[in-house]
Structure 1
Amino acid sequence: MITTARHAVLALAATSLLLAGCSGGGKSGDSGGAASTPSQATNVAPIPRGFVENDAPAGDPVQGGTLTYALGTEADSLDPATEFGAGSTGGSELAAIYDSLVRYDPATKKYEPQLAEKMEANKANTEWTVTLREGTKFTDGTPMDGEAVKYSVERYIAAGGGWSGFLDDALDTVTADGMKAVFKLSRPWADFPFMLAQAPGNIVSKTGVDQYGKEFVRNPVGAGPFKLEKWAPGEELVLAANPDYVNGKPYLDKLRFVPVTTPQALGDLMTTKGVDAAFLSAPQVMRPILEGNFGGYNEPMNTGSILLINNGIGGKPRPGEDVRVRQAIAYAIDTKVIDQRATGGTGLPGNDVFQAGSRWANGVGGIKPDTNKAKELLAQAKADGFDGKLVMVIPPTQPEASLTVQAMLNAVGFQIETAPAQTVQDLIRRVLVEGDFDISVYGWSVPDEPGEVFARYYDRIGRAGNPIGYKATDLGQLLLDFAATSDETEKKTIMGKLQETWNQQVPSVPLAQTPSMVAWQETVHGIKPSSQLILHFDKAWISK
């Protein structure tokens, strides 16, 4: 097995926390085929899942123009091996420069070739062959073939890239055969192409790496539809069309990424047409966009808000190691009350892992609030020596939800000591780095895409050494079973079993889905969302 560094938990955490929050709604329809997610407030329209359409006719693609895309966080590296590459930060920039071998199509709910020509698996889903397009070249003129893919993936792993933990866990070898790269896995993984839609599928030029060395992070050489023209960190990243892109020169002349510091500023730039597109994660900002004549794509995130319970990390005994304490916490919490207090009833509360409207929703449901049951379980734990005290780290992103949780737990007999985190970075340090907490409201944002469902939950509760110290193997095995099958019905059945096991073990308590959206002006067409709301702009264009 290839030796790798540990999966970059911190990058995942930062992305999830950016997406954590409450949700709102609007009038726009859903063209992605999924049902709209209902809001709990009677006077608030539902949030559309999938594509949000406007009334502007598209017409035929037009050549030329610059598309400006605003995000709350900018990339700090243009090297896939050192930039995690989520949709909220870095991922779309990397996809523009390098393209990706594969993309996830939310309309078909399948992984489709992007830079690759095709991909094929054996019957056991243990070997995947990616065939590249003839004539594919990096922007330095060198050819992109199977050897280039092999080099790039192994370099990514050696550098400890963000998904290295999963490649280490699942990948035995990658070999080259002309225009083909063959990935042999250590276990069945029906959704393995998910990896190739992320940073590992952003293939770098070995010649470019050799030429620039450590400065490759600022001098990227890929085979994507755009190439670097200017990068002024904190100001803008400008990419120019690659005329030799294997899938044809892009319609756009330039692609411009700009960092914007606040969610409201992102919304204001959209409504005043100061930018062509924006990444939005605050519901109060999304609402005017959804009610206006904008296009976009919305992806409600499962467990986007969750009460993390320390199951036994941080170098000392934790109350959450006792399953009765975890169960008592779950029975004490009413997510609808939290939503009323925190969002005025406009959110998507629920303590099931996959709520109604999710691709993986099932009839099992989460634990129903029961204060008497909570008191009974807490009394049992106290009889065995638990003093009833819990240290609660309060995040800067969800203070109202945290204080409501505190009141509910106090009401059944817990004694909550609060420890406010001053910044998101401080929260990540306390919770994920040091394990210095008993409970904390957090963000574990996971979309419905099957590759992400497996990868994110397996990392957080399935693997040994997971960040909350959950030690039972039941959930991990169910997630491995989910990954192994390509049968949609079987996957959904497994997720029902996962919810049943979650209700028994209560590794943590889901609180709500949270929204995330990419919005674009009515003049913008052809943007293709992929995994983690990474965008592909190779066929994007702006009408005159």
Structure 2
Amino acid sequence: MRQLSLISRRVAAAAITLAVVSGAAACAGPQDSDSEDRAADSAEGKPAKGGTLTVLNSEPQSDFDPARLYTSGGGNVPSLVFRTLTTRNREDGQAGTEVVPDLATDTGRPNQDATEWTYTLKEGLKYEDGTPITSADIKYGIERSFAAELSGGAPFLRDWLIGGDAYQGPFKDSEGLASVVVPDARTIVFKLRKPQGDFPFLATQTSFAPVPKAKDTGTKYEERPVSSGPYKVVSNEGDGKRLILERNSHWSEKTDAERKAYPDRIDVRSGLDSAVINQRLSTGSGADASAVTTDTNLGPAELARVADDKELASRVGTGRFGYINYLAFNPKVKPFDDIKVRQAISYAINRTSVINAAGGSALAEPATTFLPEKKAFGHTPYDHFPAGKTGDPAKAKELLKEAGKENLKITLTHSTEQNRQTSPEVATAVQEALKKAGITVELEGLEPNAFNEARWSAANSPGFFLSRWGADWPSGAPFLAPIFDGRQIVKDGSNYNHAQLNDPAVNKEIDEISKLTDLDAAAVRWGALDKRIGAQALDVPLFHPVYKRLYGKNVKNIVISDWTGVLDISQVSVK
């Protein structure tokens, strides 16, 4: 069994699963390369150091400060500059869901009940100016993430560390966090309120990046942060709209087994229209031949065109991130307080039409479980309300009759944003499926900000709405705890527990699993809990998104892990 504290070994690359769902497609994507194909590409043109990698993205790389970034996992750019105590294993597919050492010598050493975690830094770690990285710098970097001026980072440390809920950051409290202890320059100890077996996953987030106190410029630090990674920031225009990175000469690959750092220079250009990005990548003129995107998908029409071009099809990377799109119920709103109504809707759903509305089987895979279909999350197959590919309206009508709610009229709230996830198209597909079961659905479309405000409100949440959730790391904990732990219901803020479930047995099981540092054992328990909660029909899982993204013709060494689902730019070469 895998122990978190022993995952310092490299794991052999696993072929990323690239199969698309059959029988539910409105469009079919290009055939993807597997790891053997990538190995062949590498043999034809082995990765080499040098050149400039261009990153073409829609979203600006804003707030480029380790305290303000939520995680280094998403777009990958921050992890080129900010190293952390641990990081993700930079391998294809499932192997990429492993947490491995980064600045630390291992993934952490827990005490007996996992309420205390100790890390030792590697020797020879340096910043871009050649000064040594110390454990005090990591402590200070963590403390900065508590400052109101630098809000925006992950909330876990505030919840997990003893005293974290009251700490205001180093600008207001010079005493620092007593629960983060640095006995010497290479040792750091974290003291937690309760057991957290997932702590090594948390230590991958950018708040664990070292920051030298003497060079902290507060809210201006994002303009010129001090690098601990293979690249340093030489230019930051328009709050991340254009970011230029060049080599950090004091970074040593001897201390960093994960980042390959092949290119000499990385030019991040953001705020671009998605159609423009895909056009530039497909054409591949000039610098665009050595370009990638980490946030822009191919759409159905683009995929259809790519499928007819063998050369373009060979340059499509496919990824799957831990994400679920689902129908949410608020049982405090009638008629969704009746489990038979929720069950009827679960049976009536036509996942084929939903997936077609989401872009087709190349971009979405049907889901009947809340947890993603990945071992790391603890996925346990179940389908409590089997609707087949196109729904079971007869069973739905039967349940509604038993509930005395025939000819039911309800409202489905959704976003007006054209994102193919909580969009009007998906809402319409749900509406049409429920109509066959005798349920009349009125659609309520809200602009994105109003929609998010409504669905995250405990007091004013709609009774029935489209929602989605993604995990901060590949484990059942960040998937199930925020959504179903009753102690995480937020009355006056963003509440993610849509069903407002507060089941003592569920809460207790979450605590028990959180004590485990054995990932395999924890995963089995998370899967069992998902299945148990799923029987209550508190949501209707719809689909897991699939990412299809082009990369330039000169880009080599493609790695897409199941942790992020996007091309890992720390691995690619352009020569």
Same fold, judged at TM 0.5 (above): yes
Which residue is equivalent to 1:68? 54
Deviation at 1:358, TM superposition (A): 5.6
**Which SS does the other structure have where 2:159 is aligned?**
helix
Instruction: Say yes or no: does 1:428 pair with 2:414.
Output: no
User: Partners in 2 of 1:135 and 1:355 — Cα distance?
Assistant: 39
User: 1:108-507, aligned counterparts within 5 Å?
Assistant: 108=95, 109-122=97-110, 123-159=112-148, 161-162=151-152, 164-172=154-162, 173-178=179-184, 179-209=186-216, 212-233=217-238, 235-247=241-253, 250-273=261-284, 274=288, 275-279=290-294, 280-282=296-298, 284=300, 285=302, 288=306, 292-294=313-315, 296=317, 298-303=319-324, 305-312=325-332, 317=333, 319-340=335-356, 343=359, 346=362, 347-354=364-371, 360-369=378-387, 370-379=392-401, 388-396=409-417, 397=419, 398-422=423-447, 424-432=448-456, 435-446=460-471, 450-451=474-475, 453-462=476-485, 463-465=488-490, 466-467=495-496, 468-473=498-503, 474-487=505-518, 489-507=520-538
Deviation at 1:427, TM superposition (A): 2.7
Deviation at 1:42, TM superposition (A): 7.7
User: Partners in 1 of 2:19 and 2:261 — Cα distance?
Assistant: 35
Which of 37, 41, 54 aligns to 1:56? It is: 41
User: Partners in 2 of 1:199 and 1:328 — Cα distance?
Assistant: 44
Which of 541, 559, 563 aligns to 1:510? It is: 541
Contact 2:358 2:426 in 1 (8 A): yes
User: Partners in 1 of 2:22 and 2:322 — Cα distance?
Assistant: 16
User: Partners in 1 of 2:36 and 2:241 — Cα distance?
Assistant: 29
Structure 2 portions without partners, runs of 5+? 1-11, 163-178, 255-259
Structure 1 portions without partners, runs of 5+? 1-29
The 3 A distance-change label for structure 1 pair 201 and 428 is same
Contact 1:71 1:258 in 2 (8 A): yes
Q: Structure 1, residues 326-385: CA drift from partner, whole Å, max 9, x if none?
A: 3332222121242345545554123222466665443423421343443354456567x9
User: Partners in 2 of 1:201 and 1:527 — Cα distance?
Assistant: 27
Moved over 6 A (4+): 45-50
User: Partners in 2 of 1:252 and 1:356 — Cα distance?
Assistant: 34
Deviation at 1:78, TM superposition (A): 0.9
User: Partners in 1 of 2:151 and 2:319 — Cα distance?
Assistant: 27
Deviation at 1:260, TM superposition (A): 4.9
User: Partners in 2 of 1:300 and 1:381 — Cα distance?
Assistant: 38
Deviation at 1:208, TM superposition (A): 2.0
**Which SS does the other structure have where 1:175 is aligned?**
strand
Which residue is equivalent to 1:80? 66
**Equivalent AA in structure 2 for residue 99 of structure 1:** R
The 3 A distance-change label for structure 1 pair 478 and 431 is same
User: Partners in 2 of 1:386 and 1:151 — Cα distance?
Assistant: 61
User: Partners in 1 of 2:280 and 2:108 — Cα distance?
Assistant: 43
Deviation at 1:197, TM superposition (A): 1.4
**Which SS does the other structure have where 1:204 is aligned?**
coil
Deviation at 1:49, TM superposition (A): 10
User: Partners in 1 of 2:142 and 2:34 — Cα distance?
Assistant: 31
User: Partners in 2 of 1:162 and 1:53 — Cα distance?
Assistant: 40
Contact 1:364 1:499 in 2 (8 A): no
How many corresponding residue pairs?
A: 501
Identity of aligned residues (%): 23
TM-score between the two structures when normalised by the length of structure 2: 0.75
**Which SS does the other structure have where 2:535 is aligned?**
helix
Answer 1 or 2: which has greater strand percent: 1
**Equivalent AA in structure 2 for residue 485 of structure 1:** L
The 3 A distance-change label for structure 1 pair 476 and 323 is farther
**Equivalent AA in structure 2 for residue 74 of structure 1:** P
Deviation at 1:61, TM superposition (A): 4.9
Contact 1:86 1:533 in 2 (8 A): no
CA RMSD, 1 decimal: 3.7
Query: Which moves more between the two structures, 181-190 or 487-496?
Result: 487-496
**Which SS does the other structure have where 1:320 is aligned?**
coil
**Equivalent AA in structure 2 for residue 146 of structure 1:** S
User: Partners in 2 of 1:529 and 1:293 — Cα distance?
Assistant: 15
User: Partners in 2 of 1:325 and 1:358 — Cα distance?
Assistant: 32
Q: Structure 1, residues 505-530: CA drift from partner, whole Å, max 9, x if none?
A: 22221101111256544533457667
User: Partners in 1 of 2:232 and 2:224 — Cα distance?
Assistant: 10
**Which SS does the other structure have where 2:194 is aligned?**
coil
User: Partners in 2 of 1:128 and 1:92 — Cα distance?
Assistant: 26
